[in-house]
A and B are shown apart, each in its own frame.
Chain A
Amino acid sequence: MAAAEAAGGSPGTGSQPAAQRRLRILSGHLRGSPASRAPEAAQLLSLSRCGARGAAERPVPGSIPKKRQEILKWNGWGYNDSKFIFNKKGQAEFTGKRYRLSGMVLPVLKEWMEKTLGASLEHRIICRTSLNSSDVPPSIVNEEFLQDLRATEISYSQDAEDRVFRAHGHCLHEIFVLREGMFKRVPDIVVWPDCHEDVVKIVELACKHNLCIIPFGGGTSVSSALECPADERRTIVSLDTSQMNRILWIDERNLTAHIEAGIIGQDLEKQLGESGYCTGHEPDSMEFSSLGGWVATRASGMKKNIYGNIEDLVVHIKMVTPRGVIEKSCQVPRMSTGPDIHHFIMGSEGILGVVTEVTIKIRPIPEYQKYGSVVFSNFERGVACLREIAKQRCAPASIRLVDNAQFQFGHALKPQVASIFTSFLDGLKKFYITKFKGFDPNELCVATLLFEGDREKVLQHEKQVYDIAAKFGGLAAGEDNGQRGYMLTFVIAYLRDLGLDYYLIGESFETSVPWDRVLDLCRNVKERIVRECKEKGVQFAPFSTCRVTQTYDAGACVYFYFAFNYRGISDPIHVYEQIEIAAREEILANGGSLSHHHGVGKLRKQWMKESISDVGLGMLKSVKEYVDPNNIFGNRNLL
């Protein structure tokens, strides 16, 4: 029965009893529901469609429903119920109940926005509150394909909202289009395969009818990877993997789990947790991004120091391509069989096929977690300390160093009450900074730490790290500050939507860079942004800040935030894009990479050749040509 449930293509509100659901569907059918509903009823009858499932499989509904619009914003980040607003008193507030910051008032945020970005509450943009279906490009799907599709009994939709929801990721320009215009091209149809076999069928049909497929995982892409090429004339099929979200089996002897690729991060960890395990892969987008998406973009998680990045975690991948299914014949820790085919799949950004199932390493949930933080007198010392920690290979699960501007920004998000959020500066400034060390509040910076493991070892590890920090003048600044830092990363994404209401646009971007160039790169890129803004006529100094978010033996990952006030600029997105391009060129000129983990998509394609050389690009192209000669996976990323 469990299998049957799952096979039914469970709608988001999966907790309903199956019978009730069936009733609803049937009644919908009677009322003359859209074509997409019909197959669902049919599916109920063919229980064996995705039958070949392992024992560990349980039908757990995903946290995000099939109808994403039910709980997610259509024109911004995250859940509908969670957002920053200015309340009647003119104070910033974060709504909802989901996050620790939810329901809290942030009294200094307004002032920060005014001071740092020149924003003003009087200058507010009122944008439309809902999507107007008539603005959406019509769905053009030929009838023969639809017939074939119905025959497969795979769920699909041609609804405008469904299609628009899958027409974008979360780049600034995409959100801007949602708020103020409409995409030139959106998928014509959304399909929801339930399992690997469904995907095989869809790909076959796409080949047969010459359609374009764009795989869709969690929709958190920040590289324009999900955007439909405006000039694509074929029918575009958005292949939403969200219903392939089961853990098929867990192998405790080898500490691996075999999982369908559509599962999203929060569900994966929740479900594994029930068995006492975790993957430890925690990208900041883990609430929404999917396992398949991680593989397709070469994602990196916050705790990679213990668990590794996606390429370290993956043991086996199954991918459906127009040529057929690609996978290895065994599930081994390493093999020497020529270039690793996994490395063609990881980072393929949906241009080769659909990742359907992944075997991933799992770990017992750590016994003990401890946050921490260290204050340094300036960014240089902080970087030197991180370098030393990396050298001694004793980095905690996560270690991040924010520059002074970001430190102050963190301060701006201080809520009115709540112990953990007690002002960092208030306490610290009085205590350490002014009295003891004479740190300059406009220079100092903070590293946040997260330790994991068994208690003993964590405490030992902690001491080791703090001892190293002390050599660089770093002062321990408490657990709360650390924890707060990590929590903020989940809500920061919501902040952009607030900014957009007040003429503030912002974005983040990242790179990886050798240790010796970290400082130069950070300084030069920030300066470049400031300079470009000035040259492009931006009237207020931009917010341009960075943090070192990952450490490696040979270098670090650096993450930039950049925002500015575009009042007085007629084409802010164009200006923004020019500045982002300039910043990326500065990164490349300073020895940084095109991307550490966001990927290339269409946003950074122009630099691929210089990044991986002519021959390198040619190699990738020839793989693409062999695997997908008719460009069925035509999202035009990467190449």
Chain B
Amino acid sequence: MAAAGRSRLGAPMYSKELTSKKRDEFEDILEERRQSSDLRYAMKCYTPVIYKGLPPCKPSAIKNSVLHSEQVQYVIKQLSKETGESADIIQEEATEILDEMGHNLHIGAIRFFAFSLSKIFKRLFQRVCVNEEGIQKLQQAIQEHPVVLLPSHRSYIDFLMLSYLLYTYDLSLPVIAAGMDFLGMKIVGELLRRSGAFFMRRTFGGNRLYWAVFAEYVKTMLRNGYAPIEFFLEGTRSRTAKTLTPKFGLLSIVMEPFFKGEVFDTYLVPISISYERILEESLYAYELLGVPKPKESTSGLLKARKILSDNFGSIHVYFGQPVSLRTLASGRINRCPYNLVPRHLPQRLSEDIQEFVIDVAYRMELLQIENLVLSPWILVASILLQNLPAIDFELLVEKTLWLKGLTQAFGGFLEWPENLCANKAVTSSLAPHSNIVSLVNGQVVLNDKGTKDVTTEELIFKQALSILMCGAYRNQLLNVFVRPSLVAVALQMMQSFRKEEIYNYFNFLRDIFSDEFIFFPGIALKDFEEGCFLLTKCDVIQMTPQEILVTEKGSSVASFLAAMFRPFMEGYQIICRYLSKETKEAFTEKQFIPGIRNFAFQLLETGSTQCYEVLSSDLQKNALAAFVRLDVVKKVKITNGFTYTVNKEALSKTAEMLHSPVPIRKPMTARL
């Protein structure tokens, strides 16, 4: 997918520019596992292809070369000079960090994993579907250049599954940069490590030694092509199933060898992993509501055994086309500045490079999103959430079919069971989700299993829980729908036809929601045009050079689209209200979250809002970040953390914009 950017080099290609979006076919790999021996599979001859015929290298040798690299030695000397600590002691520390972190590839552990994961996956999932063409491309890529695997992150299953798949297809197991909290899980942690995973602290907290050792470790693996590096751009598992905005630290580390000419090229491989039902769905919902999540301990995982009897539907793993970093950088990045400083010295990234890293990160996430498989259930959940507490089954089927068409028109990657009639398709899509929906008397109902006599507070909590769980599925549709939908929201809010006004409001929404949804930086106009294009294509709107008109039959579509994003509009409105009423002094995030939660609870209790999703700490944090970004809230660093103060004037303006905007008649900045 050689993408030539328009307004900004490397910008994504949108449907307007695409002639056809061709996607590969899937293969169910569990099918074979169900027919032949897992033991034999685990003991199969495993000889993965390697980069340029590189001979295998012992983990201890890698560790050694990391420890004695100029990079790490430089930081050790530097620290020793600054702290007065002897270099030997710091070196010791570095060794410890490496031991804690370093992967340790044991074929035995891999085989053990292959065996047990086969058993577990077969119990949990109906199918594990993989695009084999993608695997072939990956196999090719691994032999050409160092490879970085960039999967989406929804579950702990993600990297187990990826390693399992690579093993199945006889590819080198990736070295995974995974969160430190795995180290707490003694047995599993060690097993993971022995099968290739390595660990990083979630925050480096300014620990330069840790960072140096870590970065050098990653780069050594990469430079020598020992194994593909795998990490999650999103940084952590998305609790909402919406793609999280990317983190840039690891990405810039893996790009550095290319910038410094240490490798000819590096392949970035976006991987989309979609779950019909997410293993951690209820844990996430609890967490979002502020009930602390259980620490990932081995016993926790063992308890999770009861979930083994549950049905988690299918998994789809789509290996995207490997993207050449060199191609992305060509014509954009001048690597010469790296010539003026010895390559082992830590260097600040230039602005150009920073911007490039950000663009690449977004680009990769957009590629992930493009290939995330959408199941019928996702459509059902989206419709149900607009028809609470229940919807007539027939109507649901009808609407689902309608939404299916729309999703496909918007470029969503829908896997629809073509062999089933619509009724059956919908019914069977409900099956894995019996914990949140049920079919009662021809009605599909969201969670009616609650006990009768409980406090309103408990009721609200339960309701919120199932709405958030259901929302996590609707959320998977949002990034596909966001451009046309925000145009629809703008049309609705502005009550205007003037293109310029619609665009300005669209731009405002795009700005304020840029932590909620994935927008490629700096191409607002292109996003707007894409949204309009899709709406026009579906006959929802008609465009004249100056105006945008909603067609008669399009108005129901437009209001559906707007309603889909209603929870965010309303959630942010409520947070505005909270900020203007309840906060007098500077506050911390620790005060903000419970504060807004109580405030929202009250509103829900009194029935003055139905927006349960405002209880989600994810939405709350995103809103706070957005307000900081828009200078509505000022963020100040204090000794241990940050405080926030509200700029009342800016806040009331933003609140007004979210509520009932007056058309903004700015002179047009961009040509429409």
Residues of A within 8 A of B (CB): 516-517, 520-521, 523-524, 527-528, 588-591, 610
Contact = CB atoms under 8 A, between A and B. Distances in A.
A590 B261 contact: yes
B261 A591 contact: yes
Interface stretch (B165-173, B338-346, B642-650): B338-346
Contacts of A589: 261, 334-336
Interface string B341-383: 0110000000000000000000000000000000000000000
Contact of A516 (B264, B336, B342): B342
A589 B336 CA distance: 5
A521 B335 CA distance: 13
B92 interface: no
Residue of A517, A588, A589 with highest tally of chain B CB at under 10 A: A589
A520 B262 contact: yes
Contacts of B334: 589
Nearest to A528: B264
Contacts of B261: 517, 520-521, 524, 589-591
A527 B336 contact: no
17 contacts: A516-B343, A517-B261, A517-B343, A520-B260, A520-B261, A520-B262, A521-B261, A523-B264, A524-B264, A527-B264, A528-B264, A588-B336, A589-B334, A590-B261, A591-B336, A591-B338, A610-B336
Top 8 nearest A-B pairs by Cβ distance? Answer: A591-B339, A590-B261, A589-B335, A527-B264, A520-B261, A524-B264, A520-B262, A524-B261
B54 to A, nearest CB: 13
Nearest to A592: B339
Which of A516, A520, A528 has the largest number of chain B CB atoms within 10 A? A520
Contacts of A528: 264
Nearest to A526: B264
Nearest to A591: B339
Contacts of B343: 516-517
A484 B338 CA distance: 39
Contacts of A516: 342-343
Given A528-B264, A610-B336, 10 more contacts: A516-B343, A520-B260, A521-B261, A524-B264, A527-B264, A589-B336, A590-B261, A590-B335, A591-B261, A591-B339
Nearest to A593: B339
B533 to A, nearest CB: 32
Nearest to A516: B343
Interface of B: 260-262, 264, 334-336, 338-339, 342-343
Contacts of A523: 264
Contacts of B264: 523-524, 527-528
Contacts of B338: 591
A528 B263 CA distance: 12
A93 to B, nearest CB: 38
Contacts of A588: 336
A503 to B, nearest CB: 28
Nearest to B340: A591
A588 B334 CA distance: 10
A10 B179 CA distance: 84
Interface-central residue, A527, A590, A610, by most chain B CB under 10 Å: A590
B376 to A, nearest CB: 43
Contacts of B335: 589-590
Contacts of B336: 588-589, 591, 610
A527 B144 CA distance: 11
A139 to B, nearest CB: 45
Centre residue among B261, B262, B343 by max chain A CB count within 10 A = B261
Contacts of B342: 516
A517 B336 CA distance: 13
A449 to B, nearest CB: 29
A205 B632 CA distance: 77
A523 B343 CA distance: 17
Contacts of A517: 261, 343
Contacts of A527: 264
A516 B343 CA distance: 9
A588 B261 CA distance: 10
B69 to A, nearest CB: 12
Contacts of B260: 520
B352 to A, nearest CB: 14
Nearest to B342: A516
Contacts of A610: 336
A528 B327 CA distance: 12
A591 B261 CA distance: 8
A383 B634 CA distance: 56
A270 B334 CA distance: 48
A520 B338 CA distance: 14
A588 B333 CA distance: 13
Contacts of A520: 260-262
A485 B260 CA distance: 33
B575 to A, nearest CB: 48
A263 to B, nearest CB: 38
A623 B68 CA distance: 49
B346 to A, nearest CB: 16
A452 to B, nearest CB: 34
A590 B342 CA distance: 12
A524 to B, nearest CB: 5
A516 B260 CA distance: 11
A610 B337 CA distance: 11
A528 B342 CA distance: 23
B61 to A, nearest CB: 16
Contacts of A591: 261, 336, 338-339
Chain B CB count within 10 A is highest, among A516, A521, A527, A591, for: A591
A590 B260 CA distance: 7
A584 to B, nearest CB: 12
A614 to B, nearest CB: 14
Contacts of A524: 261, 264
Contacts of B262: 520
A418 B281 CA distance: 81
A247 B357 CA distance: 62
A523 B261 CA distance: 10
A528 B335 CA distance: 15
Nearest to A513: B339
A524 B266 CA distance: 12
Nearest to A523: B264
A359 to B, nearest CB: 36
Contacts of B339: 591
A517 B260 CA distance: 9
B324 to A, nearest CB: 10
B648 to A, nearest CB: 50
Nearest to A590: B261
A516 B261 CA distance: 11
B627 to A, nearest CB: 42
B267 to A, nearest CB: 14
Contacts of A521: 261
B260 to A, nearest CB: 8
Contacts of A590: 261, 335
A523 B334 CA distance: 19
A241 to B, nearest CB: 37
A521 B334 CA distance: 16
A524 B263 CA distance: 7
A411 to B, nearest CB: 23
